[in-house]
Structure 1
């Protein structure tokens, strides 16, 4: 068993999928080809990665048109991330990347703007923006653009490290990973998918915002674990939590992997406790939103262990095929990561245990 073998991850949230998942998946493949998202080689890979199934798991009882919008949008995000950032020259030129993303952001705000007329990614984003406007309230559409801005600036931050060949601290990485995984851009679509708009006082309550951030943490940590094989064998610069932990502490790959699993387990336990507390006092729309956050976490897990994006059959990744029914870490104390340690103040502490930077060999 190699040092990058990923154990079965704890998955306490039950799976679900929209019954029209196959049609949604096929529609996204047609959309990607129609708008020529990414190079032919990149597009050929993206349409085989079952992104429609991922979206159908996020909103298993949602509006089919919004699920298809979400699926198309996720594929578009991969077109930006894979094409511009990881595989393209812009990913090593933060200044040029900023200029390109700034133009794309303007198109998301104003799809009628006469900019990047012949650019396929821009044309696809125009379509996405117009569809968001059809299903969103003005406030939801504005939050979608704001979240897209957060995502764009975080990938510029990553491009800076890629250009310099540097590795950030765990604290800095944790902060930026809340945004550069593009999870926050999905959150407005959770409301749109069930045709409601959260009251601003509910959505912006510190505990509700923290629940969304916890979901982002678990989703991105899981993504780092499940994509590590693909990334570190590519021969290119990559940035994920296993590399960050190894760089910061000098521990082995296996020790870093165990630490990352313990971290995501501890945050997932906190998310479940906080969600239960919030749902006990919430109205139907907030309860639906909190349930959707959980669906998003589980969708990422199910898709992550099955999609060709991560299983990489040409060089099989040592991924689990099942999930665990118990966490590896059951402490209720904060993680030693200052940028997120405040989450634990939202619920009473129950223990004094802490997760060390890396476990003993």
Structure 2
């Protein structure tokens, strides 16, 4: 197990659904017009009829605008509203097509449907899917992306959307077969099926810059983005576990994957997942500090935004109706911890991400507390 014995025992003592206060070293922030952004996204969802009426009714209560306003707390309001609308659309696809719809158990048909949507993202004027409300909503999003992005940023957004679509088809394969992937395979898939990479181009758009390609695609900068995706999706798995495992439907979640692979209890799997996200978050902070020392203003802004994205996911995750499930209250924390449960500098035993630990010079392995706020 990667988790310290003390944390494992604490979780087991309270109950398998109990989520301890998660370590949150990045300070919170939110755009001052968050309420207007949230309301605008609700109007947009109804105008474009995103998802079924029942699904849409749930999505507009989940404060997705607040999530976007936390990701870009000092960004351009139009881009934050675009991001908020896009995240709601992604949930419309994920909940409606992948998790709750029939396509979610038919990877072939899901793949065909998503390829049609991908063409709409590439060329919003394409005369296809004219009776599909998700396609019309995506047309609007794509045109707005083009209005704020460079051609290269738009292409990266489409490429990231393709990666997301591939990953949810992969998930549909496991759902249709009722199988649980290995931790290594799940980790790779989770870097994309959480749709975090689709958000990354909007971090640049929100502040009106475009990173140089050589800078953005440097292995260490790319790894920093992947580490942020790991922490965000692990946190999502922790905070959504109550909702998912009590639904009675098939679900994929790191806790279930760990239980299946290691033959451990739910409490042990939960403690292991917390320790894993803590170790990756510590590495992210050290790598970010190392990169900032030699970065220009745009890269520094991008690295800061990655941290904001992590914290935004945490703040939204413990407060949104998407996860708190008031009809069947989830035992989620209401505060955050100032300390990680795992302070090891060793690589996690997950081969697909092991290279991350080789990207940081040994000399930079100083205490995290020296460069981050509690």
Q: TM-score, normalised by structure 2?
A: 0.93
Equivalent position SS for 1:3:
coil
1:323-342 map, 5 Å: 323-342=336-355
Match of 1:271 among 280, 284, 291: 284
Match of 1:286 in 2: 299
Matched, 1:305 2:308: no
Contact persistence 1:226–1:304 (CA under 8 A): yes
Equivalent position SS for 2:39:
helix
Match of 2:45 in 1: 32
Report the Cα distance in structure 1 between the residues aligned to 2:99 and 2:130, rounded to whole angstroms. Answer: 24
Report the Cα distance in structure 2 between the residues aligned to 1:64 and 1:267, rounded to whole angstroms. Answer: 31
Deviations 1:238-297 (A, max 9, x none): 000000000001000000000000000000000000000000100000000000000000
In structure 2, the CA distance between the partners of 1:126 and 1:308, relative to structure 1 (3 Å rule), is: same
Alignment coverage as a number of residue pairs: 352
Match of 1:198 in 2: 211
Q: TM-score, normalised by structure 1?
A: 0.97
Match of 2:62 in 1: 49
Matched, 1:120 2:133: yes
Deviations 1:294-350 (A, max 9, x none): 000000000000000000000000000000000000000000000001000012459
Equivalent position SS for 1:306:
coil
**Structure 2 residue ranges without an equivalent (≥5):** 1-13, 364-374
Equivalent position SS for 2:211:
coil
Q: How large is the RMSD of aligned CA atoms in angstroms?
A: 1.1
**Structure 1 residue ranges without an equivalent (≥5):** 351-361
Contact persistence 1:333–1:349 (CA under 8 A): no
Contact persistence 1:178–1:213 (CA under 8 A): yes
**Deviation of the 1:112 alpha carbon:** 0.2
Match of 2:108 in 1: 95
Report the Cα distance in structure 2 between the residues aligned to 1:42 and 1:112, rounded to whole angstroms. Answer: 27
Match of 1:67 among 73, 80, 85: 80
Report the Cα distance in structure 1 between the residues aligned to 2:200 and 2:154, rounded to whole angstroms. Answer: 11
Report the Cα distance in structure 1 between the residues aligned to 2:192 and 2:126, rounded to whole angstroms. Answer: 26
* Structure 1 segments (4+ residues) deviating >4 Å: none
Which protein, 1 or 2, shows the higher relative CO under an 8 Å CA cutoff with sep ≥ 6? 2
1:335-350 map, 5 Å: 335-349=348-362
